[in-house]
Chain A
Amino acid sequence: MSGIALVPIHLAEGPSLLRHLEKRLAATFGLAVEARRPWFDPDRAYDASRGQYNSTLVLAQLQGGAGEAYDRVLGVAGVDLFIPVLSYVFGEAQLPGRAAVMSLHRLAPEIYGLPADPARLFARAVKEAVHELGHTYGLIHCREPGCVMRSSTYVEEIDLKEERFCAACGRAVRPGG
């Protein structure tokens, strides 16, 4: 087996979002993409004192077990993620490596008191997924304004960039393409 595994972690949006991600990621990375249930207990990464999931622990779980069979493994969490020193993260990835994890929690407009907007949420999810997977290819944040590897401090900044790599970042991901 090879390609990219999408691993849903407490994902309320479920199949429709995963299907959308499968399509977009396959087109961007030129790899087969399949969704598969977690082979580990994601709640082992839960920190009750913070009410959040430790992304570093999730990342460690994604790398092992069934994840080893894939070129890349991307955890897609519906819950909020953190690394111990930061209050939250949108996602985390090995730089470079095979595993990445992203959270939809802070991508949803309703968390900021705005009306729900599924189309916007899906678009943000694709950009975050491509961005975190980009790190696994060794890419660091890019200064090109439209590039998906541009750093986003605020969620609105995700809306400003596109879901594609700039030419230079694209070459690192698909050297032949």
Chain B
Amino acid sequence: MSETPVSILIVDDEFSVRDSLEHWFRRDGYRTAGARDGEEALHRLQEDRWDVVLLDMKMPGMDGLDVLRRIHALEPGILVIIITAYGSVESAVTALKEGAFDYINKPIDPDELSHVVQRALEQRRLSSENVALKAKLEELSTVPHIVGESREIQKVLELVRAVAPMDATVLIRGESGTGKELIAQAIHAQSPRRYFAIVPVNCGALTESLLESELFGHERGAFTGAQFRRKGRFEMADGGTLFLDEVGTLSPKTQVELLRVLESREVTRLGAAKPIKVDFRLVCATNQDLEQMVAEGKFRDDLYYRVNVVTIHLPPLRERREDIPLLARHFLDKFSRQMNRPFRDVAPEAVDLLVRYPWPGNIRELANAIERALVVGKPPLVRPEDLPVSLAPPAGGAPAPQVGDSLADVEKAHVRAILERTGWNVSRAARILDIDRVTLYNKIKKYELSQTSSAALGAR
């Protein structure tokens, strides 16, 4: 129970009404005061905090309805109970439309008065609880911090802000490690659905049948091993956002099922007879070339159009190099706090290395490099030798192949180097570069790389 007594302001031009009601409420331990007209009532409202106002409709000067409007202008959350003369229901109804909590007729039935006041106080308690909970949720569902000042990332964030409040399906594209899930979270956290869950599903991590039961849920005994009834991810995302990562890896069968759910907004648990209505926003992510997959018949075109309503392209880290020092600093702060290691900064020579490296694994690789440096290094500075060897400039020995200064030149040289190292084993090279094979093929095509050109370069 709250320590401060409930406060009730009684506004009536008749002294006996004010006096007897004040007396009546004081017996319940309420703090009370009376006001003989609208002016005095507004004055008292400015002076003190009141939970409930009992307001007579008929008073000389400002009438009850005017007072009600002015009270609400002054303090919108306050609960006003109207007192009307018996039979003047019409004015009471007008007052209700103007936002009064309820009305009671004079002479007031004491049972009714107790109940109306109790209900008003309950409503007040619930709404202040609601405000407090929303504030708490707001605090918990803060928009994830996305680091970056480059024009590229600012454009992405602008698009996120614009698209988040709408319910449109969003497709986030970008290489592995560019922060697609973080962008999905940012969209969710800025959407009206933020008070509900964002449910992530990594489509690439599960086999077809596991993914199906994960997405749809199942009834008890739906299949061998289904000992309990289980809610699927679609149902869990009801009211919120469903984030399908690596959507390009969905099998043809799951693609059909997903399409059906998106069209009907209904899901049927495995082994269940009846469908359940679901309402979620869909956000997908992929690092694959969906257009090519559609052309090759690997991804359904009808699903492609459903999923590809608004597209957000996340630039790879090498295309926003000016953000590398900021990101490095961000991860340094984050991990040093987590590990309780007193690192203050990254040494300028180390920053230089970080900026020059092409980061095929993007931000994830950068985060790992910093985390590792904090483990092996000595506070307070991250030094070049604390960084992974792959970042180090070629030392002495074989001179680095001469490449141009543009990003494309650096990327081309790096892709070629890795391909050579793996003897043109595309799968292995893609794994090392942390990109998928299709992307690697695209890059080979884009840079017109071939085993002959490499050989030619090697011979030079």
Contacts and interface: CB of A to CB of B under 8 A. Distances in A.
Given A87-B110, A89-B110, A151 B28 contact: yes
Given A56-B20, A84-B20, A86-B20, A140 B107 contact: no
A86 B113 contact: yes
Interface residues of A, number: 20
B60 interface: no
A50 B28 CA distance: 26
A85 B28 CA distance: 17
Interface in A118-177: 135, 140-141, 143, 151, 153-154
A53 interface: no
Interface residues of B, number: 23
Given A56-B20, A85-B17, A154 B28 contact: no
B26 interface: yes
A169 to B, nearest CB: 12
A135 B28 CA distance: 10
A95 interface: yes
Given A85-B16, A85-B17, A95-B23, A140 B109 contact: no
B27 A88 contact: no
B111 A86 contact: no
Interface in B89-111: 106-111
A85 B106 contact: yes
Nearest to A149: B27
Interface string B101-140: 0000011111101110000000000000000000000000
B113 A140 contact: no
Contacts of B23: 83, 92, 95
B271 interface: no
Contacts of A56: 16, 20
Given A85-B106, A88-B110, A154-B111, A141 B16 contact: no
Interface of A: 50, 56, 82-89, 92-93, 95, 135, 140-141, 143, 151, 153-154
16 contacts: A56-B16, A83-B16, A84-B14, A84-B16, A85-B16, A85-B17, A85-B20, A86-B24, A86-B109, A86-B113, A87-B107, A87-B108, A87-B109, A140-B29, A141-B28, A153-B114
Interface of B: 1, 12, 14, 16-17, 20-21, 23-24, 26-29, 83, 106-111, 113-115
